[in-house]
Structure 1
Amino acid sequence: DDGGRARARACLGVLTQLTTCAYHDLIPQLDADQIASFLVMSEFDPAWMALCNAMMTPSDSDATATAVITSLCQSLHAGLLDPNHSPAVVTGLIAIVRKSCDTLRIVRQELLQPLLLAVKSPPSELITLLTLLAKVEFQPDGGKAATCEDEFVNMCQGLLTPLLSPKSDLCSSALTALSMLLIVAPTQVHSFIAQSERLSCLLDLATSSESDLREKATQVLALASSDTSIRKAIIEADFSFIFFDALSSTNPSASAYSCLALSKLAGTDSTLNKTILSDPDLIDAVCFAIQNPTTQAVAFEALMYLSVYSPTKTALAGDAARLRQVLTSTPGQPYALAHIIASFATSSDDLRFDSQVDSDTEKMKALAAKGVPGSEKGIDLTAAAGSADEIAQVRLVLIESGAASVLSNIVENSSPELQTVQLHTTIAKALLRLSSCPTGSGRLVADGALKSLVNIALTDRESRPETLLYDASLAVARICIRMNPALVGDRVLGALPKLLLEFLESALHEMHEYEALLALTNVASLDEETRERILSLNGWQKLTSCLSSANSKIQVAALEAMTNLIACKAGFNRLSVNGEQDVKIFALFARAGESDRELCAALAGLAMMSTDPKLAKLIMTADGLKIAKAAKSRSTNPDVHARASALVNNLIRTPVESR
């Protein structure tokens, strides 16, 4: 009765707590018959199943679990067929199977058919259980667990093959099972589906007059299209029309899976690629599916495939409202969203510029497009990414639509289990691409991108892959070039000198070295405290070493950064003690400078040094007056003239005894 059940549940709560603490041994252990009795009486209540699972003795858990499953198979079979009980039975089986490997064999032999064809349980739970059944099997001789996906899929095929016919009453259930198996053991199921007779059957079902069979067959084919041979067969049979037709389906799932199928087919055939990417209904359907929680994951997978193509990028960038809708409607898809933003913001030039262009291209295939391999008429993903001019506009729209804010929120607010190296690597790549936008630095700082990048770059550096740290540091440098340092928080600002100096030393490209120098110059312009922090990190010596570069742009950028460092007490103190060599370096660049920028940097440094009598004497010795006069005669630039005049005035005002 109700009162007895209430008291039983109260006892259940106490017992459940005891099983998780030191008093576990005080609880009387249940034998298999008692556990079976409890489970049947409770109508497979999840709480009772959890308690019974916990009360199995650790030393005898395998034997107890096996005995329970064996004695319960008939009841469990009935429970799986009952829509009211099947979710609880599946949950309990997951717990017991995880605890005892030996139960896998029994469950697979006795319960596989109802699990595949009759269970009305949340798909995620059922897929979890099927995955456990597919991965390992306990060896009777006590050997190690061995993978047995082939054996598992063979068992499933034996059950499903006779049912894959429109004449079968269980055809719909068989198609649902096949969809789940494509997630559980994709490689083996691809081989099963790729057989010509079976694929032909699925294509026929996808054109069936029965909407349920048609939509479920479309879903199976969409999932199976990750396999190259299956995609080729669909294209050669000229059956891609079934997916175009289903785009406008009133069934959200059918429309979403059609988007997924077409996005995969687009990477296989160049002619079909143009047809798919030019269809306006495709982007409409993808964006609509993203708004639906039940189809969001499928839609994002489709958009991950499509995001490597410039037509997709420009289509969404041309509709800022829809783009913002996509960016802000994805609480459960942070990883996919970061990949999509990274792909959208990547141009062909970006891929070609990388010194490891081949690996970067493969990375874009594997990460942004889930590794769809090309056929004989496959697509060149580097060329398909879009020109620099096209992607520059896409980046600007992404930034204005809040892409950086979305990525920063993922870093700052996602749960710890989501904060993986893989996710951070993708976010760093996405923010790196966005940081290339010349007018976006202010918005990137305001949206938290700089803060997130610094957090990524400074967290567990020893365990982070070099590519992650490099991308994050390069993105930091690019943002720092054009930002206003006064608008950056103290914690982030305090971390920048060390981060930028380390990146300067590790830069793999001259362009990246140059960007690090420009970033240091801008950061050093903020205040004396920042300049002194850079000097305390051996910044002067690191900048001086860049003057020996064969690249004149790097030389000038280093000279500009050094000039900014002079304007602080620590800088003057250092030069006063041992600045003769530094004076000679600046004098050399001022004397031999070929560009106005080089002359401005060298003369500005000498002008600031000349305010100190001791340094002014060294400059006079180095023919500072002649250098200033020569610079004015070589250049008509007003900035050069202003700095040369300042140098002359300071030297003239120097006391005679110091000259």
Structure 2
Amino acid sequence: MCSSEAKQVAFDAEAFASKFGGLDEAKNNANVLFRSKCYREAVESYTRLLSEIVGTDFNPSNATEVAKTVRGNGTLDERLVDFTATLMCNSALCYFNLNQLYEASSLCNACLCVDPYNYKAAFYLVKCALVSNEYQNALKHVERCQSIVDAKKLFSNQEVPHAALVRRIRESMNSDMSKKVVLERCEDIISNIASGTDVILNLKNLHMHPKQEIIREQVIPKLVAILKEKDDYVKYADVHSGIWSSIHQFFHRVDEKVESQMLEQLQRALEDNNIDVQGYARKLISNAEKNPPIASSVQPILIQFSKVCSDIRTIPALEALTLILEKCKSDAEDHVLSSILHYFTDMKGDKPVADSKFTVALTRMLETLLSYYDLDYHSGTAEHLEGCLVVIFLRRFGNYEISEESFFSIVARLLNGYITIGDPKIEGGVFLQPTCYVALKCLYVSSRDVFKTYIIVNELMGTLLSNYMSDYHAGYDRIKLQLLQSEIVILSMDFMECRQLLLDTPVKDVSIIDYLRSDVGFIKYLQGIREKESEVKEYCKSGTFHFQKYGGSTSSDALYEYKILALSKFMVHSTPVMNQILECFDLFTIVPNALVIAIMKGQQTDILIDAMSYITLHQQAKTPEMLMCMYVQMRWMEHCFDCKQKTMYMACHSIVNMFRSRDDRYGFNKHIAGNPMWDDSQLEAMREAYEKLPEASKPAQNGEFTEGDVSVADIMRGYVVMMNNDVPRCLVSIAKMIMKECQMLEKRGDKVKEEMQLKAYKLVMETLHYLMLQSINRPVMQSAGVLRMLIDAANSKVYKGTNQCRYLSQSIAHMCISSDPRVLSYRDALDSTGPLVKLLDDANELFQYEAALGLTNLLTIDDDVRTRVWSINGWNALGNLLYSDNEQLKAACLEGWCNLAAGEDVVHGYFYKKLAQQMESVENPAEVITLNIHDITILLMFAGNITELRSVKASTGTLALLVRDLRIAKYLPFFSKIKNLFKTVDEVDDADVLYRILTAMSCIMQGRVEKISPANVAHVKSIKEQIKQCTMRNITKFRNPAILNLAKEIMEYTTS
């Protein structure tokens, strides 16, 4: 686009502001397309938006000229600049993903013209140059990235993203010449490998070719043929390990179709060359055992070969993996375990069938994995081993099927090998070896129901308890064994049946609670916590917290923390058990103090946070002292890098418990379709009837605790912000941190961890909702940015279609009701309207009323907000509630209409069009016309209902604002209900009502209808005469000067 054309691109900040909300919503829709990888559709949407903003066709070829114009316009609203830059950058990312590098580069440059500090645009310029092998340009753009980082102080505590690109540029420049030679032919590379020339380098060069070329050139079969030819794996160890490694890498990050094609080629090549995977592994291991000096050469081959077996996923491959695991050395264990984990992860199959050979192979693999466990394993190897067991226990075997009964029969039989029966040194004579505990933990992670069934059916609770309460360790490390025992006992306590068995099963006539009460070491540990109580209080009150780097905890401390957790879990079992525990242990003081001490020392906190999540369920925990400790926990959550996954979830649980009442548990967290047979009042009546039943008659339930009623929760909600107004900011910070982690996990495809983080996020948002219920908290929460968090949550897919979304929208309404609309940001004000309009459709009248009040307040801001509300059907949503029996709700909705009508031609054009259409469609225009626009008729009806003064004020105010547009005013005499205005003037003395009605009547007097029949002319004249008469007979009421002036105006107008 030439410069003269560029000058023609015009921008109007005011025009843009009026439609900014609609554009923002359209951008969000385009973002959804981008996240769905519909890049072509997304870039079309972004381009349409950009064209709408700049007022001309926008495309990559004119992007730079347009960008210069945007930046050069000095009067331009800054929001338009940021918005345009974002759209340009998003378009560039679409083109980059479509491999259209020229367009991507053009748009990145354009974006940087608009926003010189847009790091993402500069970063993708580097990537475009790197992909195009333009290394000098790439380095130039890297310098720009760094200048943006320095200017904006980005990534202060982490490596800058472009550092990885710098390393890639350096590597690419170093190997540029070799690439040009390498990429000539795959066949030449294969020949070099076969001849032994630079084997490793040539194998690397193969990976520079596209996967389709690898398939087309039959690269994998040719590599397998080289393995067959060079079968002296000692002499050609590098060739064997290198080829297996390359084959495995070919399967990395490929789509399902390509993977299937390469796998088919690999299996056919193994058959053609008579390479049996199990036989190959056995031969390598056998020769290494017979000739130990060659073992160091064989091990790398076995490691790489195990990776290929994990890609093949056949029965022989599983048998080979088992064989390798049995014979590998300790330094190769992690590699082989990783291969086993990969084998069982995401196994695919359309029609799984039972196969006895797979059952035998799987049984042997399980047997080997279980036999491999060692208490002295470092944590990494133990996690790998547990990961393998968990993924097997999930029973997702692709094409192979094993019934649940058969599978867990195998597991039970294998675990029996780790249960020593007849040991006289332990009560009951049954000793559980460490491997048994590890298997039980993995069983719990994979399926809680199966874990519970296994424990109960095999009557293991008594054995678990006798082992737990015994000091006998059978030669194993006592502390490590006790930690495993504690963990399984804690896991079993998730189930009411297991807790009851633990309580009812004495060991040597000692119950588990008596055992904990008489544990000398545990009592000393608790005494140490009590001695530091004053130190904890001073630390909490100081408000200045220095969190030490995580240094772990001693094993003995972890054992005592598990005992605290066990007592905390028992507390929710039943009220008698809770009272029994509280007689000996003041857990409501011990647990928070222990947690703060651990935070102060930089020790492990996950067990104590778990305990906090249980004790805070009780009403007795809702105290100011607990809130002080909770604030320390919140600040720690903000700054501790290790607070993730389950720890974050349980920490958020303990926070929300402090502000949740019993009713909230049944309200906020209730599913919308939870029980359509009963309404809320019926469910509440049933709950009250249940509570009146004798204890013996109540059905068993998993957990019994008293959270307290709403009054208790309200005290905590009000006190926490009064105690420290930093709490809302802290919660917002935690929520943002969680969502950032979720986004990272989503990119990595880790659904399990992402789901856990989302649960924690929901708990934080629930907490913010409870705090918002207290009006005294709202100013502080507004300044902390809570409204933005609530809006984003209510509009997110996380809450789509959920009951919680209603409550978040209610909190938005509370904020909009309490806030001065002038202090709300432009974006927050616009975005609040969507959730509030949706809330108007709720079945709960309180929610409807609060939404109407919130909208009414927002509608006083400006026409941008009014236009947004009108565009999302806000007028009709308010109007639908005018048929309610609740007078307050009707008045609130009429007030919303009044403020919506205050805009400049926001609603007026719609009503004028409707009126004009009705006038044109009159069947007999010679007769007196009667118009019936529903909403205007409704307003006239409410204007005549003088028993509800608030509704009269709102309805007459709306009418006055509508008829100031004389296009509408001139048609009002044709409404039969217009005489309600005269009646109200006659009967009401309220100055506000009189002023509004006389304003409307003054506008009616000014209206002139053209081209109507004599009968209609006479009718209009009659109505105007009645207006004058009404004004004249009530002239003595009009003491207000403004009303008197209106009356004089009316009397001066002619009736023609």
Using the TM superposition, name which of 146-155 and 542-551 deviates more: 146-155
2: CA distance, partners of 1:95 / 1:308: 40
1:155-190 CA deviation, whole Å, 9 max, x = no partner?
314413449886799977367537635634531453
Give the partner amino acid of 2:812. V
Given candidates 17, 34, 37, the residue that maps to 2:249 is 17
Q: Is the Cα contact below 8 Å between 1:97 and 1:104 reproduced in 2?
A: no
Corresponding residue number in structure 2 for 1:368: none
Question: What is the Cα deviation at residue 270 of structure 1?
Answer: 1.3
Offset, 1:283: 1.9
Distance 2:990 2:372 in 1: 93
1:298 correspondence with 2:607? yes
Among 692, 714, 718, which residue is 1:389 paired with?
714
Deviation of 1:280 after TM superposition, in Å, equals 0.9
Q: 1:316-338 CA distances to partner (integer Å, 9 max, x unpaired)?
A: 32446424335424344444444
Deviation at 1:524, TM superposition (A): 1.4
**TM-score, normalization by structure 2:** 0.51
Aligned twin of 2:815: 479
Q: Which range is displaced more, 126-135 or 41-50?
A: 41-50
Partner of 1:503: 839
Instruction: Map residues 443-592 of structure 1 onto 2, 5 A cutoff.
Output: 443-460=780-797, 464-486=800-822, 488=824, 490-505=826-841, 507-568=842-903, 569-574=905-910, 578=915, 582=935, 585-586=938-939, 588-592=941-945
Query: Residue 562 of structure 2 aligns with which residue?
Result: 257
- Structure having greater relative contact order (Cα 8 Å, sep ≥ 6): 1
User: Residue 407 of structure 1 corresponds to which residue in structure 2?
Assistant: 735
Count residues in correspondence: 636
Q: In the TM superposition, what is the alpha-carbon distance from 1:478 to its structure 2 partner?
A: 3.4
Q: Distance between the aligned counterparts of 2:858 and 2:805, measured in 1?
A: 20
Gaps of 5+ in 1: 363-372
Map of 1:366 onto structure 2: none
- Amino acid of the structure 2 residue aligned with 1:17: Q
Instruction: Give yes or no for the alignment of 1:434 onto 2:756.
Output: no
Instruction: Give the Cα–Cα distance (whole angstroms) in 1 for the partners of residues 963 and 784 of structure 2.
Output: 42
Residue 547 of structure 1 aligns to a residue whose secondary structure is helix
What is the distance in 2 between the residues matched to 1:452 and 1:46?
54
> Which of 128, 147, 152 lines up with 2:411 in the alignment?
152
Contact 2:461 / 2:501 at 8 angstroms: preserved in 1? Answer: no
Structure 2 residue identity aligned to 1:284: N
1:310 alignment counterpart: 619
Q: How far 1:555 sits from its partner (Å)?
A: 0.7
CA distance in 1, matches of 2:1039, 2:375: 84
Give the 5 Å matches for 1:166-177: 173=434, 177=438
Determine which of 452, 462, 465 is the counterpart of 1:199: 465
Are the counterparts in 2 of residues 428 and 468 from structure 1 also a CA contact under 8 Å?
no
1:53 counterpart residue number:
306
> C-alpha separation between the residues in 2 aligned to 1:166 and 1:427?
50
The alpha-carbon distance between structure 1 residues 86 and 331, as it changes in their structure 2 partners (threshold 3 A), is same
**2: CA distance, partners of 1:239 / 1:515:** 52
Among 493, 510, 515, the alignment partner of 1:225 is 493
Which runs of 5 or more structure 2 residues have no equivalent in the other structure?
1-235, 289-293, 348-357, 527-553, 669-678, 688-697, 916-931, 998-1036
Provide closer, same or farther for how the CA distance between residues 335 and 551 of structure 1 changes in structure 2, counting only shifts above 3 A.
same
Partner Cα distance (2:383, 2:644) in 1: 18
Distance 1:433 1:643 in 2: 49
| Distance in 1 of aligned mates of 2:763 and 2:374 | 36
Q: Following the alignment from structure 2 to structure 1, what is the Cα–Cα distance between the partners of residues 278 and 566?
A: 48
Structure 2 counterpart of 1:32, one-letter code? Q
Does the Cα contact within 8 Å between 1:435 and 1:441 map onto a contact in 2?
yes
Distance 1:556 1:313, change over 3 A: same
The question of 1:657 aligning with 2:1054 is answered yes
- SS of aligned partner of 1:204: coil
CA offset at residue 409 of structure 1?
Answer: 3.5
**CA separation in 1, counterparts of 2:933 and 2:720?**
47
Q: Which residue of 1 aligns with 2:984?
A: 627
Q: 1:240 aligns to what SS in structure 2?
A: helix
Q: Deviations over 1:385-435 (max 9, x none)?
A: 872432432664684362233224323553224554756655554443333
Matches for 1:641-652 after TM superposition, within 5 Å = 649-650=1045-1046, 652=1048
SS in 2 for 1:526: coil
Deviation at 1:228, TM superposition (A): 2.3
Q: Which moved more, 1:641-650 or 1:535-544?
A: 641-650
Q: Distance in 2 between matches of 1:142 and 1:97?
A: 11
Query: 1:552/1:631 Cα in 2 relative to 1: closer, same or farther (>3 Å)?
Result: same
Once residues 860 and 890 of structure 2 are traced to their aligned partners in structure 1, the CA distance between those partners, rounded to angstroms, is 18
Residue 278 of structure 2 corresponds to which residue in structure 1? 32
Return closer, same or farther for 1:431/1:388 CA change in 2, 3 Å cut-off: closer
CA distance change for structure 1 residues 284 and 149 in 2, over 3 Å: closer, same or farther?
farther
Deviation at 1:549, TM superposition (A): 0.5
Provide the alpha-carbon RMSD of the alignment: 5.0
- Distance in 2 (CA, whole Å) between partners of 1:583 and 1:604 is 12
Q: Note the 1:22-171 alignment, pairs <5 A.
A: 25=265, 29=270, 31-35=277-281, 51-56=304-309, 61-70=314-323, 72=324, 74-76=326-328, 79=329, 82=330, 84=331, 86-98=333-345, 103-115=361-373, 119-122=377-380, 123-136=382-395, 143-144=401-402, 146=404, 148-162=407-421
Corresponding residue for residue 343 of structure 1: 657
1:369 equivalent in structure 2: none
What's the counterpart of residue 958 of structure 2?
Answer: 605
Q: Distance in 2 between matches of 1:201 and 1:591?
A: 82
Q: Which residue of 2 aligns with 1:284?
A: 593
User: What CA distance in whole angstroms lies between the structure 1 residues aligned with 2:416 and 2:395?
Assistant: 18
Is the 2:496–2:703 contact (alpha carbons within 8 Å) kept by the matching residues of 1?
Answer: no
SS in structure 1 of the partner of residue 418 of structure 2: helix
- The 10-residue stretch of structure 1 (647-656 or 528-537) with the greater mean CA deviation from structure 2: 647-656
- Percent identity over the alignment? 16
Q: Quick one: which amino acid aligns to residue 898 of structure 2?
A: T
Whole-Å Cα distance in 1 between the matches of residues 775 and 311 of structure 2? 62
- Structure 1 CA distance for aligned equivalents of residues 423 and 943 of structure 2: 83
Counterparts of 1:281 and 1:217, CA distance in 2: 23
Deviation by residue 1:105-125 (Cα, 9 ceiling, x = unmatched)? 112234423337675553432
User: 1: distance between equivalents of 2:945 and 2:1039?
Assistant: 16
What is the CA distance between 1:554 and its match in structure 2?
0.8
Tell me the TM-score normalised to structure 1 length: 0.77
Cα distance in 2, alignment partners of residues 164 and 590 from structure 1: 91
